[in-house]
Structure 1
Amino acid sequence: MKSTNHHDERIAKMSFASVYPHYISKVEKKGRTKEELNEVIEWLTGFDEEQLKEQLRLKASFEEFFQKAKLNPNAHLIKGVICGYRIEDIENPLTQKVRYMDKLVEELARGRKMEKILRSES
């Protein structure tokens, strides 16, 4: 499935703050915690708790959010299908980063062990 320019633009303009509560709800329904969610987000973006709060306060779009992020060098190890898209085949770099986060949140909600979610190349 190939994403369209319209789809990519919609994702870029979407507010991270509007999606974050859904991430929290998704993981808490499955017995995981907001703290674990924030750990996963920090691993992917480099944002500590205060920086994450600032992004939420600013209502940063995903484009602004990922412009300020320091993507984890092992993010390319995130593979699979999310929202009908194979992550490693997504051509738009921003859309791919958003899907990385979606995939990590899904893995957390599904009960995957944290050390597997926070990939390392060992």
Structure 2
Amino acid sequence: MAGHRIFSTSFASIYPHYVAKVERKGHRVDELHRVITWLTGYDEAGLQRVLDDEVDMATFFERAPRMNPHASLITGVICGHRVEEIEDPLMQRIRYLDKLVDEVARGKKMSSILRQPTATAP
């Protein structure tokens, strides 16, 4: 079964667009790396490795050291779709990352971007 063409697009070819987006809005690459790390578990060396190896998006997420268990708390619209309603798990992960990058670019507080579950009352 063939997937969306973004699945076979290299992360290295998309990454500069993420960088440009956050920098154009006056934010820093380290903020971008922080959300990528939060979502995927890649550290700086691991991120550099996937960029150097030009792995595709499917492999980028397959090899992610640890997808954040709170990623499902990412909600909202990206590319005209509600991320929480995307059925394909890989496409949903890609859109989670897109949503986080958008939030960094918009200047949302990092504490809000890096979702944490709310504590339930006893």
Matched, 1:15 2:10: yes
Is residue 2:90 matched to residue 1:84? Answer: no
Larger Rg: 2
Query: What are the equivalent positions in structure 2 for 1:97-116 lying under 5 Å apart?
Result: 97-116=93-112
Where 2:32 maps in the other structure, the secondary structure is: helix
State the 1:9 CA deviation: 2.4
Alpha-carbon distance in structure 1 between the residues aligned to 2:117 and 2:82: 20
Deviation at 1:110, TM superposition (A): 0.3
Partner deviation per Cα, 1:15-46 (whole Å, 9 max, x = no partner): 10000000000001111100110001000000
Q: Give 3-state SS (helix, strand or coil) of 1:111's partner.
A: coil
Does 2:63 correspond to 1:51?
A: no
Unmatched segments (≥5 aa) in structure 1 = none
> CA separation in 1, counterparts of 2:83 and 2:115?
15
How many residue pairs were aligned? 117
Alpha carbon RMSD of aligned pairs, Å? Answer: 1.1
Query: Aligned ranges for residues 26-37 of structure 1 at < 5 Å?
Result: 26-37=21-32
Q: Which runs of 5+ in 2 are unaligned?
A: none
TM-score for both structures, normalised by structure 2: 0.92
Task: Give the distance between the partners of 2:73 and 2:9, measured in 1 at CA.
Answer: 25
Separation (CA, whole Å) in 1 of partners of 2:62 and 2:41: 12
The percentage of counterpart residues that share the same residue type is: 53
- With normalisation by structure 1, the TM-score equals 0.92
If each structure's helix is expressed as a fraction of its own residues, which one has the higher value? 1
